[in-house]
Amino acid sequence: MTAWLNGRVTDAEKIVVSAASHTVGRGSALFEVMDIIKTDQGPALFRATAHIKRLVSSAEIMHMPLPMSEQELVAGMKDVARACGYERGAIKVLAYYANPEFGIIPKDKTVDVAAFVYSLDESIGVSYEQCIEPVTAGISSILKLSDRAFNPHAKVAGHYVNAFHATWEAREKGYAQPILLDHRGIVTEGALCSLFMIKDGKLITSKTDEVLLGITRDCVIKVAAEIGVPCEQAEYTPDELMAADEAFVSGSIIRIQPLKSIDGRTIGNGGTGPVTRRLSDVMEVVYCGRDERFTGWIEPL
């Protein structure tokens, strides 16, 4: 597997982390996942700068001193994307403490940054066409971590034990996607994705207080504004969600994935609704680099 470590392209097997490290024992790694996309002008990264900005922000929240600048990190992601030779794929970049560490606050502040490149099949396990087909979802009994416990805007590996349990439960119940609620019973997001519903032509998604500031979420909101679909960030309940005309989740690799049912209750027509289809169609054009309104999101290699 093609990889990158602290500024140099390398092989993944050469990247070594101690099992006694703070990152392994405390879950303190930070990470981002970004798309390698195929455009008319050749392979590119999609919103790599936005992903790296969020990584830097997460590092500030976690008091982790990154060993290089934002600009150097973006350049590094382009280097490793070029080295892999994929037209479509994904990069997972991590910042972590690699050395042995016992205490809750590491004495050794050395932070490494590594990136690993995955083909599209390796990252999602199915074809992209299968990935965007409507899927089932269920309301999870696993609650979203409270923003009173930790800042939800930091993408920290340890937080994703929450997502692991919610996804495991959903699969056991036969659902593809879990939907997490907060401690008040308000809908927040999916385990690994942002959540949207459409009611009477309006796009509705959760407020930012308790959810990750998703890069694709931001894309959907901005695309909706450009094509005249009103969008509101609001609190809503599971009952309101299940009464929606359409619903979908969004994420870096899946982009937009419609939900055909929630807890066995059909959403809308049980397929891809008209507003979801419209947003998906525009997003596909955006990802090809053909929409002049959003060419700044395309970062050529």
- Give 242-283 pLDDT, tens digit per residue: 999 999 999 988 899 999 999 999 999 999 999 999 999 999
* Residue 82 sits in the same domain as residue 136: no
* Residue 20 sits in the same domain as residue 91: yes
The pLDDT assigned to 71 comes to: 97
- Give 46-75 pLDDT, tens digit per residue: 999 999 999 999 999 999 999 999 999 999
* Residue 147 sits in the same domain as residue 120: no
The pLDDT assigned to 127 comes to: 63
Q: pTM of the entire structure?
A: 0.94
Residue 16 CB burial class (10 angstroms; 0-12, 13-18, ≥19):
exposed
* Residue 233 sits in the same domain as residue 90: no
* Residue 248 sits in the same domain as residue 142: yes
Boundary (domain end) residue, out of 124, 155, 190: 124
Count of domains observed in the chain: 2
CATH number at residue 91: 3.30.470.10
* Residue 57 sits in the same domain as residue 144: no
100 in a structural domain: yes
* Residue 46 sits in the same domain as residue 163: no
pLDDT confidence band for 120 (50 / 70 / 90)? confident
Q: For the chain, give the mean pLDDT.
A: 94
Boundary (domain end) residue, out of 103, 124, 145: 124
Is the model's pLDDT at 121 over the cut of 80?
A: no
Judge contact between 120 and 89, C-beta under 8 A: yes
87 in a structural domain: yes
The pLDDT assigned to 148 comes to: 83
Percent of the chain's residues with pLDDT above 70: 97
198 in a structural domain: yes
pLDDT confidence band for 128 (50 / 70 / 90)? low
* Residue 104 sits in the same domain as residue 134: no
CATH number at residue 195: 3.20.10.10
* Residue 111 sits in the same domain as residue 143: no
The helix (run of H) or strand (run of E) holding residue 128 is helix 128-131
Is the model's pLDDT at 41 over the cut of 90?
A: no
The pLDDT assigned to 164 comes to: 95
Judge contact between 167 and 192, C-beta under 8 A: yes
The pLDDT assigned to 27 comes to: 95
- Alpha carbon separation from 143 to 97, 103, 179, 254, 274 (Å, rounded): 28, 28, 9, 23, 31
The pLDDT assigned to 234 comes to: 96
Mean pLDDT of 136-144: 96
The pLDDT assigned to 182 comes to: 95
298 in a structural domain: no
Boundary (domain end) residue, out of 124, 146, 178: 124
Give the integer Cα–Cα distance in Å for 87 and 232: 35
Give the integer Cα–Cα distance in Å for 178 and 276: 19
CA angle, residues 297, 128, 244, in degrees to nearest 5: 80
75 phi/psi in degrees, rounded to 5: -60, -40
The pLDDT assigned to 122 comes to: 73
Is the model's pLDDT at 123 over the cut of 90?
A: no
The pLDDT assigned to 125 comes to: 64
Residue span of the structural domain in which 244 resides: 128-293
* Residue 160 sits in the same domain as residue 102: no
Give the integer Cα–Cα distance in Å for 211 and 195: 10
| Residue of 121 and 57 predicted with greater confidence | 57
174 in a structural domain: yes
Q: Is 294 helix (H, G, I), strand (E, B) or coil?
A: helix
* Residue 269 sits in the same domain as residue 134: yes
Sign (positive/negative) of CA torsion 195, 210, 253, 19? negative
74 in a structural domain: yes
301 in a structural domain: no
- Give 196-242 pLDDT, tens digit per residue: 999 999 999 999 888 999 999 999 999 999 999 999 999 999 999 99
* Residue 61 sits in the same domain as residue 79: yes
